[in-house]
Amino acid sequence: MGEGSALVEQALEELYSMAPRDFTKKRDAIAKELKAQGNDEAASAVRARRKPMTIAWVLNQLARRYPDDIAELVDVGRELAREQRKPLRGEASGSFRESIERQRKVVGGLTRQTADLMKELGVQPSGHLNAIASALQAALVDPAIGAQLEEGRLEKAPEAVAGFAGPLPSGPRPKVPSPPPKKARADRSAAGAGPSRRAEAAARKREEARERPERRAQALAQKRALAEERAERQAAERAEKEAVAAVRAAEREAEKRHKAAMEAEEQARAAIERAKELTRAAEESAQRVADAKRQLAPRSERHSGDS
């Protein structure tokens, strides 16, 4: 790993560990510092990252708090994918049900841990748990999402992905008929082929009927997640507008007070100048009185001598 990559890794680990409210300011500061150091590529990589949405932030902290559980989630996803590919290769998939059960336990445990963590982080779990469960299912099905979650660097809640992560159908799963030998196919009569095709079609319909509730649930979870993200964005926009309005109101009030202070200061200066003028006038008047008294004193003395 080069120096630039190491700097980016260090910066991203710091950014995705902190609260979303501090993300943008810290990201810009790190990018500015990297650019000043001549690491333009690292600065661009850091600046390109976006502040995580609330659910993504919670999941990132979950990955830091319970890395082993997240690793198990990703491992279960790989295990289920292997089990699903076995029939395509003509192999028996005997442990598929066990893998599904393991998946249920892992996702259920992580969902409960997430609810507790959300309370600790000051986020109300109500209204978010469906989106959390959907995101965990997406990480289980999609290896790319699973890798992002393991790193703890999600920027938004992953959307639901159709796959093996839904509820386990009740009853025995229909067996996929093996292709018959060439000789048997050649000897099969048209009358025999018809019922077989009808049986296969019926099996497919039953399978589709079992999977339909899963698809509806996944679609509903995805809609809920999108609605919650939209509500979060709208709330953030409202909060930003209110903050801007509050700042502008504070600026107007500060300007008003500054203007009043300037006017008061001007009035005070005028009052001081007026007081100085009155003082000078009083001093001049007192001086004139004193001068008049000095001029009158000799005359009074002469009049006294004549008498």
Stated length of the chain? 307
138 contacts 161 by C-beta, under 8 angstroms: yes
Lowest mean pLDDT across 8-12, 160-164, 290-294: 160-164
Residue 157 parent element (H or E): none
Lowest mean pLDDT across 44-58, 168-182, 225-239, 258-272: 168-182
- CA 277 to chain centroid, in Å, comes to 67
Over pLDDT 90: what percentage of the chain? 29
pLDDT one-digit tens code per residue, 200-233: 777 777 777 766 665 665 565 556 556 656 666 6
| Helix, strand, coil percent content, the chain, rounded in steps of 5 | 80, 0, 20
**pLDDT at residue number 300:** 66
| Average pLDDT of the chain to the nearest whole number | 76
Per-residue buried b or exposed e for 44-62, using 16+ beta carbons within 10 Å of the residue's own CB: ebbeebebbbbbbbbbbbb
Instruction: Tell me the C-alpha distance between 293 and 221, whole Å.
Output: 106
Handedness of CA 196, 198, 204, 210 (dihedral sign): negative
pLDDT one-digit tens code per residue, 68-121: 999 999 999 988 888 877 777 777 666 778 888 888 899 999 999 999 999 999
The DSSP annotation for 95-145 comes to THHHHHHHHHHHHHHHHHHHHHHHHHHT---TTTHHHHHHHHHHHHH-HHH
Instruction: Tell me the C-alpha distance between 27 and 15, whole Å.
Output: 7
**pLDDT at residue number 67:** 94
Look at residues 219, 214, 220 and name the one whose alpha carbon lies nearest to residue 100.
Answer: 214
- Please work out, in degrees rounded to the nearest 5, the angle formed at the alpha carbon of residue 268 by the alpha carbons of 249 and 254: 10
pLDDT one-digit tens code per residue, 134-186: 899 899 889 899 999 999 999 998 876 555 544 333 334 434 444 455 444 44
CA distance between the termini of the chain = 123
Instruction: Tell me the C-alpha distance between 245 and 239, whole Å.
Output: 10
Residue 6 parent element (H or E): helix 3-15
Distances in Å between the alpha carbon of 249 and those of 236, 241, 242, 262? 20, 12, 10, 20
139 contacts 74 by C-beta, under 8 angstroms: yes
